[in-house]
Each structure stands twice: as structure tokens, then as C-alpha cells.
Amino acid sequence: METTNRIGEKVTVIGLGSMGTAIARALLQKGFRVTVWNRDPSKAAALLASGAIQASNLREALAASSLLVICVADYKVTRQIFGAVPIDSLQGKTVVQLSTGTPLEAREFDAWMQQRGGHSLNGDILAWPRQIGTSEASITISGDGHLFRKHETSLQALAGAVTHVSEEPGGSAVLFSAVMAYLAGNWIGFCHGALICEQEGLRTDEFGKLIANISPMLAAESVHMGEVIQHGDFDDPESTINVTTNDLHLLVQQAGEAGISEELPRFAANLFQRAVDAGYGGQEHAAIIKVMRKPG
């Protein structure tokens, strides 16, 4: 990532958990003048040694900068924090909300800020704290495009890719929710695979390396599935729902034979079987979305 000298530019960071601390540290490293505030002030110690300024209270933190970055547990906590200060404390401020929330919460927060004379950009971090400030991190942002462009250079200090995805305030949270759905399946699936390996005496670290080796294929499959679903073109499969449904029923059988949890394979097999029963068996895997669109 290109390093930009921002010496003297002021940013306030609110929330000093592992991610908030990483955000403040990245800004300090890029030359920003960073004011920090956390409900537990002891968490600021390491940042103070790196040049951060600790606000003695929230009102002081808000007054220190026109650009505020908040990263706390969720939007509910954000509203609790900001709700404790006078309504005019956010007048003219831009809050970059990097806490986790739903699309509706992002929209409501944007309206809440406007009612207080401020502005918001609602964003989501696709990175671990150790990656913040490097080219490995990605951040999506939604909200007013003019406002994003005004602060884009500052936000680029936090990630290699900072992308404005929508003028609509909830757009970033929509994508984050979609990514979380993918990751949840990925994490659960990996752990079930590791369970199979454990039960059969194979090394789980070697299983992890195998998944890493096929990751380019999985990435290409993700692009393909997105295009297929977008255009509704399910009729040119390399592998069909019929074939995979049979494989998944065998996975349920394997779990029973090995004496391990059947929860994941049974869920997957039932979902694919619904697609077969609905007449989609000759189509490709992504066609299961047709039955997912309807209550089971």
C-alpha cells in the first residue's frame, strides 16, 4: 500500500478493542494526529506511547476532530455511546461507522446522524486486526459518495482496498451479511472436515493445506456462481445437483459409520434433496437458491 504522509490531519477513534486499536495504530503510522477514547481508558496505554492523544471524556473526543471513526461491538453500543452526549455534539461531524450491524441499523443510524446535524459513512471491515493498515485488508463503505470522496484518502490509511459500494447507507452491511453467510458455511464445513480427519487418524493441518491448495478453484467457483445466479442461467452444469445430492447422502452415511455429528451433512443433504424433488436435479449447484428463496 502506498504510504501517505498525513502529519497534522486530525481523526478521532472511538472504541479500542482489538480492531479499534489496530485502526488507531494504522492512522498513527500514516502520520495522522489521532485522538482516542474508550470506556475503559486503560486500553489506550500502548497507543499513547505511539503518539495518540487520550480524550478525558467523550465530549472532548468528539470536539477534537471533524472525522470520527467508531469501531465497537455493534450499532446498539454506538447509539448508547453517542446518546450520552448533548445532541449538538455531532453537529458537522462525519462518523465512519465500522461497527457490525444490519442494513436496517445502518439506514437508521444514517438518519439518526442527520437529525443531529452530522453525517455518516457506514462501513464493514473484511480483515483481521493484524491486517489493518496493509494491502491485505479490505473495507467496504456505503453512504453519500461526495462525503466518501472527501475522506477517501484518510480511509485508505486503513486498508489496501477501500471501496464505495453504494450511495444507500445499508449497502455495505448487505454485502457484509452476505459474506458472513459464506464464511459461516466455510467455518462449519471446515470443522466438519477436520472432524472426519480426526476420527480417521489423519492430520487436520494437512487438511488445511489441501484446502489452501484448491483455493484458486474455489475462488473461481465463487465468481461463476455469482454470475449464474445473477443471470438465472443454471442449465450448463459441470456437476449437477443430482450428483452432489448423492454425495451428500454418502456424507451423512459416513458420519453415522464414524460416529461423528451428522448435523451439517444432514442439513446439506436435505437442502439439496429439496432441490431434486422440485425438479432442479439436472441443473448446477447454484440452483439450490431456488428452493432457498421459499420457506422449507
Output the DSSP codes for the chain. Answer: ------TT-EEEEE--SHHHHHHHHHHHHTT-EEEEE-SSGGGGHHHHHTT-EE-SSHHHHHHH-SEEEE--SBHHHHHHHHTTS-GGGGTT-EEEE-SB--HHHHHHHHHHHHHTT-EEEEEEEES-GGGTTSTT-EEEEES-HHHHHHHHHHHTTS-SEEEEEESSTTHHHHHHHHHHHHHHHHHHHHHHHHHHHHHTT--HHHHHHHHHHTHHHHHHHHHHHHHHHHHT--SS-SSBHHHHHHHHHHHHHHHHHHT---HHHHHHHHHHHHHHHTT-TTSBGGGGHHHHTS--
Q: Can you give the pLDDT at residue 145?
A: 98
Render pLDDT for 87-139 as a digit per residue (tens, 0 to 9): 899 999 999 999 999 999 999 999 999 999 999 999 999 999 999 999 999 99
Distance from C-alpha of 112 to C-alpha of 101, rounded to nearest angstrom: 15
- What mean pLDDT is predicted for residues 23-52? 97
For residue 1, name the pLDDT band (cuts at 50, 70, 90).
very low
Mean pLDDT score across all residues of the chain: 96
pLDDT of residue 167 exceeding 80: yes
Neighbours of 247 (CB within 10 A): 14
For residue 3, name the pLDDT band (cuts at 50, 70, 90).
very low
Q: Can you give the pLDDT at residue 294?
A: 85
Q: Can you give the pLDDT at residue 295?
A: 72
Cell 464464511, located at residue: 183
CA 149 to chain centre: 21
Render pLDDT for 207-262 as a digit per residue (tens, 0 to 9): 999 999 999 999 999 999 999 999 999 999 999 999 999 999 999 999 999 999 99
Cell of 46: 500502548
Cell of 201: 487418524
Give me the residues paired with residue 122 across strands.
97, 142
> Greatest CA span in the chain, whole angstroms?
65
pTM recorded for the entire structure: 0.93
- What mean pLDDT is predicted for residues 149-178? 97
pLDDT of residue 5 exceeding 70: no
Render pLDDT for 261-276 as a digit per residue (tens, 0 to 9): 999 999 999 999 999 9
Distance from C-alpha of 118 to C-alpha of 105, rounded to nearest angstrom: 17
Residues of the chain above pLDDT 70, percent: 97
For residue 7, name the pLDDT band (cuts at 50, 70, 90).
low
Inter-residue contact 246 to 225 (CB < 8 Å) = no
Q: Can you give the pLDDT at residue 29?
A: 96
Q: Can you give the pLDDT at residue 8?
A: 72
Cell of 214: 484448491
Distance from C-alpha of 227 to C-alpha of 238, rounded to nearest angstrom: 15
Residues of the chain above pLDDT 90, percent: 96
Q: Can you give the pLDDT at residue 34?
A: 98
pLDDT of residue 40 exceeding 60: yes
pLDDT of residue 296 exceeding 80: no
